[in-house]
């Protein structure tokens, strides 16, 4: 019988990725000056587990790297070497290198062999310099003890927490004074194994002495280093000391299953279809006489209820805690703060807040930009902070919470805040139309415009003015919005508001002629029927509608989408005021039909990309309705008008 | 009736591989993610064999062996340690703790089955 190991590769890759994340988190939390045994043990174990796995699956290059890493970590947790900041840096780099190696195996991507070799060299170098320093430490620590040679250094500290009862063999083992003791004490236990023991001990293939020879004291080296190490382990692994994190880990391990994303997506799709079918049935059933078909009506009501519950449950499968994204930032902040010579503390709040997996993947980049930006432009240098009467250590806070059907993610810093005058000056310099009495909110949003940067010096981190506009575009593409609050000298808070899922959208259905379109609710400011006087034609802007002191360009959907409308007189239809990319416009439609949650179907996968349309959905009556791409429509009009004007 | 084996490892990939290997050899397998979990499961069901990793969070393999040996049902049950540790000293400690055998990772599935068969008789 042969066993195909490849079926377990995926589990190994996922597990290793988690372990590396865990290692990175532990490293970042590690207090170098006072590195606890528990922490060092936990870090050691992550490396150890990856090594074990990679060895089992025959990924020898990963085994080699992790072995070198593990060896050094072993020395640290045994107290043979002191932990140094440079080591943590190299460990973090090693995490990256191992990630790279894993990716090499998983995706057959290129592995940076030079980086691997370099990390291995650095790790080995740390391990090499070990003995000398360790000796110094040992002798210093043990100066008062006369029998320093007989008692191994770690054991001196570590034997203490171990309860020296007869049951606890480790305690006896660490008592290096009586070398015979461990074997004598241990004897009854294997003895209990009875007849099986003599045969079974054969598995200790390299163990020379048989059971009968057990009373022979273990070889000398065993008595010096390793008992001490075992004591360390025993103390470190004692259940009460491990705390909550360990048990959390176990809980997720034993109560969750891994399923491919495509399976979940298929499930979501099927439920989407079910919702549509249910809606169609409901619509049909609504016409039957409820007195005659009472059972049918009751059944339909039940079906609707169950369908909705099922949909919610299925959607929740794709929901993941935002900690998946947040967890990468301690590293980002640490690295960046170091290179900018700033002192920054990162706080995260609401890591358990859940959102759709698709959004999690897409929000990571924009958040990364925002955090970098906060670090680079927001938080001041320690000197400036002290001069301003602030603590030298700046704080960046990542916060996530649910609000209505949205998730709000905030990136805030207690830095310099945005400078209104500077932004306005810069905007004028760049030829943007701004006015001095613009509300702050609008001024702040200018920093999201393309090519906008008020930083005096361009840094490698941010400040080339690329990025922030991409951030905004990405967030809008997810159906989200951005808001900024800032106070000069106090700090800045950027809030991202996202829908909970990409698969369902809150929309307003509108009719144009025989067609039904869906306008995503996030874009809609208000809807109104304009008075005849409010509609004007202005040179260069085409038709505009006057709403609360603003002249908004009119986008007549029937015209743009080439549909025969029921109404063409602008004062007899409805204006749906939408806001996109900071500009408002009025979409002219025949009528408003209602508000729905619609299941988004991609047009691109099923048909092709259509300008002005972002997707489609199936309505309750089985008809297809197109979901409007509000941004493109709003932009398209301006171009259209320009063309006409020219 | 198929003999039951408790497979203990904090690594999901290794655990599932060990489990798969043993199941394909006709054994019943119960998985545990660390020593503490293993103790709970060992108390709940009498297992014919325990196969455990050493380096694990909360309770390591050697501690598990010692704790098991204090349970009435596990005084003489075979306990194998499957670990990357291969030093003589560690093996001695394993032996002293009461382990029946010591297998070094990476393991060969075929060899694992052979050993398990031998131990379970």
Report pLDDT digits (tens) over B85-106: 878 888 888 888 888 888 888 7
pLDDT at A435: 80
How much is the average pLDDT of A552-577?
89
Nearest residue on chain B to A53, alpha-carbon basis: B14
**Domain identity same for A547 and A586:** yes
Residue of A182, A221, A253 with shortest CB distance to B12: A253
In this complex, do A56 and B17 lie within 8 Å of one another by their Cβ atoms? yes
**CB-CB neighbors (< 8 A) of B7 in chain A:** none
CB A616 within 8 A of CB A624: yes
The mean pLDDT value of chain A amounts to 74
In this complex, do A201 and B100 lie within 8 Å of one another by their Cβ atoms? yes
Q: Could you say which DSSP state residue A376 is in?
A: I
Q: Could you say which DSSP state residue B11 is in?
A: -
pLDDT at A232: 36
Q: Above 70 in pLDDT, residue B120?
A: yes
pLDDT at A501: 67
Residues 61-100, chain B: which have Cβ within 8 Å of A? 62-63, 66, 69-70, 75-76, 78, 80, 83-84, 87-98, 100
- A255 part of a folded domain: no
- Closest Cα in chain B, distance from residue A136 (Å): 26
CB A35 within 8 A of CB A76: yes
C-beta atoms surrounding B8 within 10 Å? 29
Number of domains in chain A: 5
Q: Domain of A93: which CATH number?
A: 1.20.120.160
User: DSSP H helical segments within A159-238, as ranges?
Assistant: 169-174, 181-186, 188-192, 195-200, 220-237
In this complex, do B100 and A8 lie within 8 Å of one another by their Cβ atoms? no
What is the end-to-end Cα distance of chain A in Å, rounded? 79
pLDDT in tens, A76-130: 888 888 888 888 888 999 999 999 899 888 888 888 888 888 889 888 888 887 5
Range of the domain at A311: 261-318
pLDDT at B5: 93
Distance separating alpha carbons of residues A85 and A388, to the nearest angstrom? 30
Judge residue A569's burial from the number of C-beta atoms within 10 Å of its C-beta, 0-12 exposed, 13-18 middle, 19 or more buried.
Answer: exposed
Of A142-146, A163-167, A518-522, minimum mean pLDDT range? A163-167
Distance separating alpha carbons of residues A611 and A560, to the nearest angstrom? 10
Residues 22-61, chain B: which have Cβ within 8 Å of A? 24-25, 33-37, 53, 55-60
pLDDT at A429: 83
**Domain identity same for A332 and A434:** yes
The residue among A121, A142, A163 that closes a domain is A142
In this complex, do A196 and B119 lie within 8 Å of one another by their Cβ atoms? yes
In this complex, do A237 and B63 lie within 8 Å of one another by their Cβ atoms? yes
What is the end-to-end Cα distance of chain B in Å, rounded? 14
Distance separating alpha carbons of residues B41 and B39, to the nearest angstrom? 5
- Closest Cα in chain A, distance from residue B8 (Å): 12
pLDDT in tens, B61-88: 999 999 999 988 888 889 999 988 878 8
- What is the sign of the dihedral through the CA atoms of A99, A105, A106 and A112? positive
Tell me which of B37, B59, B92 to substitute to probe the interface with A (most A C-beta atoms closer than 10 Å). B92
Q: Domain of B21: which CATH number?
A: 3.40.50.2300
Residues 276-315, chain A: which have Cβ within 8 Å of B? none
In degrees and rounded to multiples of 5, residue A587 shows phi and psi of -95, 125
pLDDT classification of A320: cutoffs 50, 70, 90:
confident
- A1 part of a folded domain: no
CB A359 within 8 A of CB A501: yes
pLDDT at A517: 94
Q: Above 80 in pLDDT, residue A614?
A: yes
How much is the average pLDDT of A154-179?
34
In degrees and rounded to multiples of 5, residue A628 shows phi and psi of -80, 140
**CB-CB neighbors (< 8 A) of B64 in chain A:** none
Tell me which of A16, A58, A78, A193 to substitute to probe the interface with B (most B C-beta atoms closer than 10 Å). A193
Residues 242-271, chain A: which have Cβ within 8 Å of B? 242, 246-247, 249-250, 253-254
In this complex, do B12 and A15 lie within 8 Å of one another by their Cβ atoms? yes
Q: Which residues pair with A528 in a beta bridge?
A: A575
Distance separating alpha carbons of residues A479 and A506, to the nearest angstrom? 10
Range of the domain at B59: 4-120
**Domain identity same for A513 and A437:** no
**CB-CB neighbors (< 8 A) of A37 in chain B:** none
**CB-CB neighbors (< 8 A) of A194 in chain B:** 76
How much is the average pLDDT of A34-52?
86
Q: Which residues contact A294 (CB under 8 A, 6 or more apart)?
A: none
CB A329 within 8 A of CB A22: no
Residue A555 token pair: 């986008």
Q: Which residues contact B73 (CB under 8 A, 6 or more apart)?
A: B42, B46
**SS3 of B32, please?**
strand
pLDDT classification of A404: cutoffs 50, 70, 90:
low
**CB-CB neighbors (< 8 A) of B89 in chain A:** 218, 221-222, 226
pLDDT > 90: percent of chain B: 28
Residue with tokens 């613009």: A438
Q: Above 60 in pLDDT, residue A45?
A: yes
Q: Which residues contact B56 (CB under 8 A, 6 or more apart)?
A: A45, A237, B8, B9, B10, B33, B34, B35
pLDDT at A274: 86
- Closest Cα in chain A, distance from residue B45 (Å): 17
Rg (CA), chain A: 33
pLDDT classification of A41: cutoffs 50, 70, 90:
confident
How much is the average pLDDT of A294-318?
86
Nearest residue on chain A to B36, alpha-carbon basis: A239
Contact A622/B at CB under 8 A: no
Enter the ipTM: 0.77
Q: Above 70 in pLDDT, residue A212?
A: no
**Domain identity same for A336 and A438:** yes
Of A254-263, A546-555, A609-618, minimum mean pLDDT range? A254-263
pLDDT at B94: 87
Residue of A204, A219, A253 with shortest CB distance to B33: A253
In this complex, do B101 and A197 lie within 8 Å of one another by their Cβ atoms? no
CB A14 within 8 A of CB A321: no
- A256 part of a folded domain: no
CB A410 within 8 A of CB A481: no
- A453 part of a folded domain: yes
Rg (CA), chain B: 13
The residue among A97, A120, A142 that closes a domain is A142
- Closest Cα in chain B, distance from residue A213 (Å): 12
pLDDT at A512: 93
Number of domains in chain B: 1
**CB-CB neighbors (< 8 A) of A55 in chain B:** 84, 105-106
**CB-CB neighbors (< 8 A) of A169 in chain B:** 66, 96-97
pLDDT classification of B38: cutoffs 50, 70, 90:
very high
Omega prior to A644 cis, within 30 of 0:
no
pLDDT at A494: 92
pLDDT classification of A3: cutoffs 50, 70, 90:
low
Residue of A8, A169, A237 with shortest CB distance to B13: A8
Report strand pairing: A515-520 vs A624-628. parallel
How much is the average pLDDT of A239-244?
37
Of A568-572, A640-644, B47-51, minimum mean pLDDT range? A640-644
Q: Above 90 in pLDDT, residue A398?
A: yes
**Domain identity same for A614 and A625:** yes
pLDDT at A502: 66
Residue A136 token pair: 């110094």
Residue of B76, B94, B106 with shortest CB distance to A55: B106
- Closest Cα in chain B, distance from residue A223 (Å): 9
Q: Express the helix, strand and coil content of chain B in percent, nearest 5 each.
A: 45, 20, 35
**CB-CB neighbors (< 8 A) of A20 in chain B:** none
Distance separating alpha carbons of residues A589 and A557, to the nearest angstrom? 6
pLDDT classification of A446: cutoffs 50, 70, 90:
confident
Of A148 and B3, the one with more pLDDT: B3
Tell me which of B6, B31, B106 to substitute to probe the interface with A (most A C-beta atoms closer than 10 Å). B106
Residue with tokens 């999690």: A360
The closest alpha carbon to A478, from A367, A615, A358, belongs to A358
- A117 part of a folded domain: yes
Q: Domain of A614: which CATH number?
A: 2.40.50.180
pLDDT > 70: percent of chain A: 74
The residue among A446, A479, A499 that closes a domain is A499
How much is the average pLDDT of A279-302?
83
**Domain identity same for A170 and A92:** no
Q: Domain of A355: which CATH number?
A: 3.30.565.10
Distance separating alpha carbons of residues A580 and A559, to the nearest angstrom? 20
**SS3 of B90, please?**
helix
CB A506 within 8 A of CB A597: yes
**SS3 of B34, please?**
coil
């Amino acid at each position: 019988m042969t066993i195909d190991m490849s079926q377990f590769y995926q589990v190994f890759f996922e597990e290793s990725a988690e372990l590396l994340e865990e290692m990175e988190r532990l490293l970042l939390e590690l207090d170098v000056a006072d590195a606890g045994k528990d922490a060092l043990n936990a870090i050691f174990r992550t490396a150890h587990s990856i090594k074990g796995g990679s060895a089992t699956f025959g990924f020898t290059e990963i085994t080699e790297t992790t072995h070198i890493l593990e060896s050094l970590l072993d020395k640290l947790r045994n107290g043979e070497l002191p932990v140094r900041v440079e080591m943590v840096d190299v460990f973090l780099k090693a995490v990256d290198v191992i990630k790279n190696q894993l990716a090499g195996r998983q995706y057959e991507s290129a592995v940076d062999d030079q980086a691997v070799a370099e990390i291995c060299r650095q790790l080995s170098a740390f391990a090499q310099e070990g003995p000398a320093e360790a000796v110094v430490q040992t002798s210093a620590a043990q100066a008062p003890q006369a029998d320093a040679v007989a008692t191994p250094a770690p054991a001196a500290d570590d034997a203490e927490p171990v309860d020296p009862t007869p049951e606890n063999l480790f305690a006896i083992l660490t008592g290096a004074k009586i070398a015979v003791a461990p074997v004598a004490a241990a004897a009854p236990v294997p003895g209990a194994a009875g007849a099986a023991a003599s045969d079974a001990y054969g598995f200790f293939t390299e163990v020379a002495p048989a059971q009968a020879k057990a009373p022979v004291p273990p070889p000398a080296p065993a008595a010096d280093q390793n008992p001490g190490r075992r004591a360390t382990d025993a103390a470190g692994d004692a259940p009460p000391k491990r705390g909550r994190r360990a048990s959390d880990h176990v809980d997720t391990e034993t109560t969750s299953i891994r399923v491919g994303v495509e399976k979940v997506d298929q499930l979501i799709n099927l439920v989407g279809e079910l919702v549509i079918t249910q809606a169609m049935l409901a619509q049909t059933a609504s016409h039957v006489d409820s007195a005659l078909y009472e059972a049918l009506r009751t059944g339909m009501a039940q079906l609707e209820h169950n369908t909705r519950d099922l949909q919610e449950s299925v959607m929740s499968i794709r929901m993941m805690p935002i900690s998946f994204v947040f967890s990468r930032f301690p590293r980002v902040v640490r690295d960046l703060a170091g290179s900018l010579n700033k002192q920054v503390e990162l706080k995260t709040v609401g890591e358990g807040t859940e959102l759709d997996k698709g959004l999690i993947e897409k929000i990571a980049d924009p958040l990364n930009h925002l955090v970098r930006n906060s670090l680079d432009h927001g938080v001041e240098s320690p000197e400036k902070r002290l001069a301003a009467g602030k603590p030298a250590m700046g704080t960046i806070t990542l916060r996530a919470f649910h609000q209505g059907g949205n998730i709000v993610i905030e990136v805030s810093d207690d830095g310099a805040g945005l400078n209104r005058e500077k932004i306005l000056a810069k905007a004028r310099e760049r030829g943007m139309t701004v006015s001095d009495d613009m509300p702050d909110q609008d001024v702040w949003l200018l920093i999201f415009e393309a090519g906008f940067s008020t930083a005096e010096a361009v840094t490698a981190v941010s400040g080339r003015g690329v990025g922030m506009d991409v951030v905004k575009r990405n967030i809008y593409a997810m159906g989200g919005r951005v808001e900024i609050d800032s106070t000069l000298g106090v700090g800045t808070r950027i809030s991202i508001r996202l829908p909970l899922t990409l698969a369902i959208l809150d929309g307003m259905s509108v009719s144009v002629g025989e067609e039904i379109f869906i306008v995503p609710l996030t874009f809609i400011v208000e809807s109104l029927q304009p008075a005849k006087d409010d509609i004007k034609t202005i040179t260069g802007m085409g038709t505009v509608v006057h709403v609360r002191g603003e002249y908004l360009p009119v986008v007549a959907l029937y015209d743009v989408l080439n549909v025969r409308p029921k109404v063409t007189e602008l004062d007899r239809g409805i204006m749906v005021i939408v806001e996109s990319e900071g500009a408002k416009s009025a979409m002219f439609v025949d009528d408003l039909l209602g508000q729905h949650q619609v299941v988004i179907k991609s047009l691109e996968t099923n048909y092709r990309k259509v300008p002005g349309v972002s997707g489609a959905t199936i309505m309750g009556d089985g008809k297809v309705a197109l979901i409007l791409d509000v941004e493109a429509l709003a932009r398209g009009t301006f171009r259209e008008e320009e063309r006409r004007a020219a | 009736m198929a003999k039951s084996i408790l497979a203990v490892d904090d690594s999901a990939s290794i655990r599932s591989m060990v489990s798969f290997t043993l199941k394909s050899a006709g054994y019943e397998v119960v998985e545990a993610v660390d020593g503490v979990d293993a103790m709970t499961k060992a108390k709940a069901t009498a297992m014919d064999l325990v196969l455990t990793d050493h380096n694990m969070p909360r309770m390591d393999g050697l501690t598990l062996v010692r704790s098991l040996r204090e349970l009435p049902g596990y005084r003489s049950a075979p306990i194998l340690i499957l670990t990357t540790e291969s030093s003589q000293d560690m093996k001695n400690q394993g032996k002293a703790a009461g382990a029946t055998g010591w297998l070094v990772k990476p393991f060969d599935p075929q060899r694992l089955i052979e050993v398990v068969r031998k131990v379970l008789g």
